[in-house]
Amino acid sequence: MHWFRFYQIIGVFIWYRLDIFFVREEKSNLVPRLLNLLFFWRSAPQQRAIRLRLALEKLGPIFVKFGQMLSTRRDLLPPDVADELTKLQDQVPPFAFSQVEAILIQAFNAPLNTTYAAFDPVPVASASVAQVHFATLHSGEQVAVKVLRPGIAAIIHRDIALLRTIAWWVKKLSSEGRRLKPDEMVEEFARHTEHELDLTLEAAQCSQLGRNFSDKRLLVPAVYWDYSRKQVMTMQRMFGTPVRDTSALRDAGINLTQLAHDGVEIFFTQVFRDGFFHADMHPGNIQVVTEGPDKGKFIALDFGIMGSLSPTDQYYLARNFLAFFNRDYRDVAVAHIESGWVPADTNVEALETAIRAICEPIFEKPLKDISFGRTLLSLFQMSRRFGVNIQPQLIMLQKTLLNIEGMGRELDPNIDLWHSAKPFLKRWMSEQIGWRRLIKSAKHELPYVLAHAAEIPRLFEQYLRNQSEFAKQQSHIDAMLATQHKQATWQKWFISAIGILVVLQLASLFLLFAN
């Protein structure tokens, strides 16, 4: 089956003429001419990007997910290909309820009606890795139950192994393919997909995001840990309207302009306050409460893909954004170098000039017409010239930023993402490098200092004793080294004397035989 699947993939690649991505169409190149001769029956009326999308859809859900991940790598892909891959939809027919029931019985080692008081056999959502059903617990809570597809782990591992094989051949056979770094793309996809195969990881991420927004500015479903396993995740059922249904939101009396600004603030709060953000915030995963005390608040769903940023990443991102706002392109270039995103020997002036060429034209437009996300994409594409190694977490951030900007403009076409973001970033930077940061650090360290204050005299006395012992050991070592030095000197003189005697003896013997 492994080899059958491999041949099937190769057949689809040949049928859709995907060799055009890896073999240059040059008159002196015999490979494309030979391929066209061997497969004369194939035709390619559509553009190459469309053919790639159709091929991935033909190969099934795992390749669709791979294509969706590729669409975020605009630092490596041509714009036409990246744009077309964003059209891939993760729509998979649901699997049978009998299989769902078998998985739940095995997970909880109990009949289904013992675990849940009621369970809707018709799924409300179905994707390539899992599907979701509504249910009710015996305690009365309404829940949503996410169940992994049966055998999906084996399918994913098989197809990823084949993707690795294809990536290896692409690198070996094509210089153009090597530039796309196919092996790195496959490994990045493998990391993301492996996380989705363990629903306890998703449940933990959901719980973490919920704690970060305990103030309920963003509503996150509670996790029912007693009803969650590796193959099953049970969470609070959320009631809301999909964010893309703007007419229904408007009819419910929701202020779409305020909603758009709230979405921007929530995004930047996740990134810069928490360093932990929902990295799959497309409209299908976002709902809005339309009635009750939480009316007008966002609901987040599906926590399989989350991003995290280190304090260093947060600092340099904020510094870059603020430098963009202030049109300080040199500081953007310096921040790229200091952060390690570009090689240390990069020419600052050349990088500054390239950044200015991208950013300066957009400032001639009205702010509402400027795409924050598209500007970031242009910078990523420019980065190839300077050997920038875009970190995976920044790729996820770029993808999320595009989703947020698109959602914001759908809610309010006149939204100015830059205007909304600048005050937040200025306040965050002030908290990181100003007196607020000093106070915050002092508060954070004070409990530790107080807890160990009583130990300070003992630790100081131990330090002095260690220093004394070290001095004694150092003195002993110095004495040993001096002795070894003397011995080495005597050995050198002794060997020299023996050498001289041997030479003199040989000379006397030579004179004796000569006479």
233 has pLDDT over 90 = yes
- pLDDT band, residue 180 (cuts 50/70/90): low
Encoded amino acid at 121, one letter: P
31 has pLDDT over 60 = no
**What number of other Cβ atoms are within 10 A of residue 313's Cβ?**
18
237-295 pLDDT, tens per residue? 999 999 888 899 999 999 998 898 888 888 888 888 888 988 877 777 899 999 999 99
Per-residue confidence (pLDDT) for residue 114, from 0 to 100: 95
157 has pLDDT over 90 = no
Across 5-14, 220-229, 503-512, least confident range: 503-512
Across 101-110, 130-139, 417-426, least confident range: 417-426
Per-residue confidence (pLDDT) for residue 123, from 0 to 100: 94
Per-residue confidence (pLDDT) for residue 372, from 0 to 100: 61
493-511 pLDDT, tens per residue? 666 666 666 666 666 655 5
Q: Which helix (H) or strand (E) holds 298?
A: strand 298-300
Residues 6+ positions from 205 with CB-CB distance below 8 Å: 303, 304, 306
Catalytic residues: 280
326-343 pLDDT, tens per residue? 788 888 888 877 877 777
72-105 pLDDT, tens per residue? 666 567 777 877 877 776 667 889 999 999 999 9
Residue with the larger pLDDT of the pair 118 and 354: 118
Q: Name the range with the highest mean pLDDT among 227-236, 347-356, 373-382, 416-425.
A: 227-236
Per-residue confidence (pLDDT) for residue 331, from 0 to 100: 87
- pLDDT band, residue 359 (cuts 50/70/90): confident
Q: What is the mean pLDDT of residues 201-211?
A: 94
Encoded amino acid at 90, one letter: D
- pLDDT band, residue 27 (cuts 50/70/90): very low
Q: What is the mean pLDDT of residues 135-159?
A: 92
Average pLDDT, the chain: 77
Whole-angstrom CA distances from 172 to 75, 76, 177, 336, 401 are: 22, 18, 9, 32, 35
- Give the pair of three-digit tokens for residue 458: 């003992």
- The distance in angstroms from the start CA to the end CA of the chain is 94
Encoded amino acid at 89, one letter: Q
Residue 411 near residue 263 (C-beta atoms within 8 A): yes
- Give the pair of three-digit tokens for residue 295: 């009316």
Whole-angstrom CA distances from 156 to 11, 13, 179, 190 are: 20, 19, 26, 9
d(CA 181, CA 159): 18
